[in-house]
Amino acid sequence: MFRKLGLGLAAVLVAATLAGAGLAAEINKTLLGNAIEGFDPVAYHLQAMPVEGSSDFTHDWGGATWRFASAENRDLFAANPEKYAPAYGGYCAYGVTQDALVGIDPDAWSIVNGTLYLNYSKDVQKTWEQDIPGYLKIADEKWPALAGE
């Protein structure tokens, strides 16, 4: 638990540092460059659960390395990354509504209208789920500035 808390705080500090320096990050990645904590984005769609990716099955896209549980998932992603990549670069969707690039808990997720959304924690996910349409509207408006677009 402390390790996860420490990693979460580190992600918040890195995001705050990037935002404070006027730099935006389009993809949420670890210090090693792995997108979404190394979890397989395709598995959320096909298996309806978070699955850790493997260093044996990777694809570079959007300035990050994406890991997959299988070659098949990697190939599906490579053929259409926009279909499988999470919204808001894999940052916490609720955090985007608060003008913040916040890390995620791979277990706090939802798929809405075919799009994967990740959240910082299960508690934040509960807040997000109280008004997903409203939060989506806010996040969609705020994301371009946070992403540096």
> How far is Cα 46 from Cα 44, in angstroms, rounded to an integer?
6
pLDDT at 149: 78
Confidence (pLDDT) at 2: 37
Residue 11 has pLDDT above 50, yes or no: no
Closest CA to 106 of 85, 92, 94, 95: 92
What's the pLDDT score for residue 22?
A: 37
pTM (two decimals): 0.83
pLDDT, tens only, 118-144: 999 999 999 999 999 999 999 999 999
Helix (H) or strand (E) holding 64: strand 64-68
Report pLDDT for 6: 42
* pLDDT tens-digit map of 26-36: 899 999 999 99
Domain that holds residue 118: 2-17+26-147
Is the per-residue pLDDT at 148 higher than 50? yes
> Any idea which residue has 């924690």 for tokens?
121
pLDDT at residue 82 tops 70: yes
Encoded tokens for 110: 């939802």
The count of structural domains within the chain is: 1
- What is the length of the chain? 149
For residue 111, report the phi and psi dihedrals to the nearest 5 degrees. Answer: -115, 125
Residues 95 and 120: beta-carbon distance below 8 Å: yes
- pLDDT tens digits, one per residue of 86-125: 999 999 999 999 999 999 999 999 999 999 999 999 999 9
* pLDDT confidence tier of residue 50, bands split at 50, 70 and 90: very high
When the pLDDT of each residue in the chain is averaged and rounded to a whole number, the result is 87
